[in-house]
Amino acid sequence: MMSKKMKTMSAIPAKAPKPQFADNAIAVLERRYLMKDVEGNVIEEPQEMLWRVASTISSADIKYDKKADLDGLAMDFYTMMAEFDFMPNSPTLMNAGRELGQLSACFVLPVEDSMESIFEAVKQTALIHKSGGGTGFSFSRIRPQNDMVYSTKGVSSGPISFMGVFDTATETIKQGGTRRGANMAMLRVDHPDIMDFIKVKADLTKLNNFNISVAITDAFMQAVENDEDYDIINPRDKEVVARKNARKVFKQIVKQAWFSGEPGIVFIDRMNADNPTPELGAFEATNPCGEQPLLPHESCNLGSINLSTMVVNGTLDYDKIADIVGKAVHFLDNVVELNRYPLEQIKKVTQSNRKVGLGVMGFADMLIKLGIPYSSPEAEALAGKVMKFIDDAALQASSKLATIRGSFPNFKKSIYYTANPDVPVRNATRTTIAPTGTISILAGCSSGVEPLFAISYVRRIMDGDEFFEVNPVFEKMAKDNGFYSKALLKDIAEKGTLQGLTEIPAKYRKIFETAHDITPRNHIDIQAAFQAHVNNAVSKTINFSHTATEEDVHDAYMLSYKQGCKGVTIYRDGCRDNQVLSTGTTEAKKDAVAKDGHRTKRDRPRKLTGSTYQMETGCGPMYVTINEDEQGRPFELFNTVGKAGGCASSQCEALGRLVSLAWRSGQDAEPILHQLVGISCHKPFGFGENKILSCADAIAKAVQQHLEANGTCCTPCDKTHQMFGACPECGGVVEHEGGCCVCHACGYSECG
Yes or no: say if 232 and 258 are a contact pair by the CB < 8 Å rule: no
- Residues, the chain: 752
| Contact by Cβ (8 Å): 259, 562 | no
pLDDT at 380 exceeding the cut of 90 = yes
Which one is catalytic: 211, 275, 287, 427? 287
- How many Cβ atoms sit within 10 Å of the Cβ of residue 614? 10
What per-residue confidence (pLDDT) applies to 618? Answer: 83
pLDDT of res. 491: 87
**Does the annotation count 291 as an active-site position?**
yes
Q: Span 148-152, mean pLDDT?
A: 75
- Give the whole-angstrom CA distance, residue 449 versus residue 431: 14
**Is 354 within 8 Å of 426 (Cβ atoms)?**
yes
Nearest to 163 by CA among 344, 261, 258, 285: 285
Mean pLDDT of the chain: 88
| Residue 586 pLDDT > 60 | no
Where does CATH 3.20.70.20 sit in the chain? 106-286
45, 262, 284, 291: the active-site residue: 291
pLDDT at 730 (0 to 100): 64
Tell me the percentage of the chain whose pLDDT exceeds 70.
Answer: 88
Residue 644: phi and psi, rounded to 5, are -60, 140
- In the predicted model, what is the mean pLDDT of residues 551-556? 97
Q: What per-residue confidence (pLDDT) applies to 688?
A: 63
Distances (CA, A) of 209 to 163, 185, 344, 505, 630: 10, 10, 25, 44, 41
> What pLDDT is recorded for position 465?
55
Residue ranges, comma separated, of all CATH 3.90.1010 domains in the chain are 586-714
The residue ranking higher by pLDDT, 588 or 448, is 448
User: Between 575 and 515, where is the model more confident?
Assistant: 515
Average pLDDT over residues 316-333: 98
174-214 per-position pLDDT tens digit = 645 455 668 999 999 999 999 999 999 887 778 888 999 99
pLDDT tens digits, one per residue of 690-747: 788 888 889 999 998 888 887 765 444 443 333 445 566 665 667 777 777 777 667 7
Name every residue whose Cβ is closer than 8 Å to that of residue 362 and which is 6 or more positions away in sequence. Answer: 306, 307, 308, 309, 440, 443, 445, 446
> How would CATH label the architecture of 586-714?
Alpha-Beta Complex (3.90)
Could you give the CA distance from residue 504 to residue 473 in angstroms, rounded to a whole number? 15
Cβ-based neighbours of 152, under 8 Å, separated by 6 or more? none
Task: Report, as an integer, the average pLDDT of 307-333.
Answer: 98
pLDDT at 731: 58
pLDDT at 619 over 50: yes
Active-site pick, 45, 211, 262, 289: 289
Compare 734 and 555 and report the one with higher pLDDT. Answer: 555
- The pLDDT of 71-95, averaged and rounded, is 97
pLDDT at 740: 77
Sign (positive/negative) of CA torsion 90, 92, 95, 98?
A: negative
Q: What is the pLDDT of residues 598-618, one digit of tens each?
A: 556 778 887 888 999 999 888
Burial class (CB in 10 A: 0-12, 13-18, 19+), 460: middle
> What's the rounded mean pLDDT across residues 26-35?
93
Nearest to 652 by CA among 662, 661, 665, 642: 642
The residue among 736 and 226 whose pLDDT is bigger is: 226
Tell me: pLDDT of 589 over 60. no
563: left (phi over 0), alpha (psi -120 to 50) or beta: alpha
pLDDT given at position 3: 38
Percent of the chain, pLDDT > 90?
65
* CATH code of domain 106-286: 3.20.70.20
Q: What tens digit of pLDDT does each residue of 340-371 get?
A: 999 999 999 999 999 999 999 999 999 999 99
Residue type for 575, please? C
The pLDDT confidence band at residue 5, using thresholds 50, 70 and 90, is very low
Give tens-digit pLDDT for 410-441. 999 999 999 999 999 999 999 999 999 899 99
**Across 375-404, average pLDDT:** 98
Position 591 pLDDT exceeds 70 = no
- Tell me: the pLDDT tens digits for 227-281? 999 999 999 999 999 999 999 999 999 999 999 899 999 999 999 999 999 999 9
Does 475 participate in catalysis according to the annotation? no
Which amino acid is it at 528? A
Cα gap 148→140, rounded to integer Å: 16
Provide the 10 A C-beta neighbour count for residue 603.
Answer: 6
Residues in contact with 577: Cβ distance below 8 Å, sequence separation at least 6, in sequence order: 674, 721, 724, 725
